[in-house]
Amino acid sequence: MSLLPTMHKDWKPFLLGVVAGAVIFVWTGFDGLGWKTNSAAETLAKRQADTAVVAAYARVCSAQFNAAKDLPARLETLKKAERWSRGDVVAKTGFATMFGEKEPTQGVAQACADILIPEKN
């Protein structure tokens, strides 16, 4: 006597269909419906939060840059610099370093420079 029940001969295609349907359901959910694993959702949330912080700090930086003395001279120095190195120029002025920080948050100086001298399209 066998412990496993005998299966009808038509169950094999049915079970293959169930497995294929489950795979397609999960694939559609993650790919098309935007399902995320917990770690992927946390990574995405952290990336979005970091982007928001950089954007906010860049606005503060540009306001401080524009409010300080010798604006025309600083802007001219910034315009003379290559686009990729303008963030370094802004970082050296100290406007990209927020109160209580020892150095600028990564990306703030470049974002500030992009606000001050937008790229021409």
Tell me: the pLDDT tens digits for 62-93? Answer: 999 999 889 999 999 999 999 999 999 999 99
Query: Residue 121 corresponds to which tokens in the numbers above?
Result: 């399209």
Higher pLDDT, 105 or 9: 105
**Mean pLDDT score across all residues of the chain:** 89
Type and span of the H or E element at 86: helix 86-93
Using alpha carbons only, how large is the chain's radius of gyration in Å?
28
How many Cα atoms are found within 13 Å in the side-chain-facing hemisphere of 80? 7
3: which DSSP letter? S
CB count, 10 Å around CB of 36? 12
Q: What is the pLDDT of residues 19-56, one digit of tens each?
A: 999 999 988 888 888 888 889 889 999 999 999 999 99
pLDDT of residue 3 exceeding 60, the answer is yes
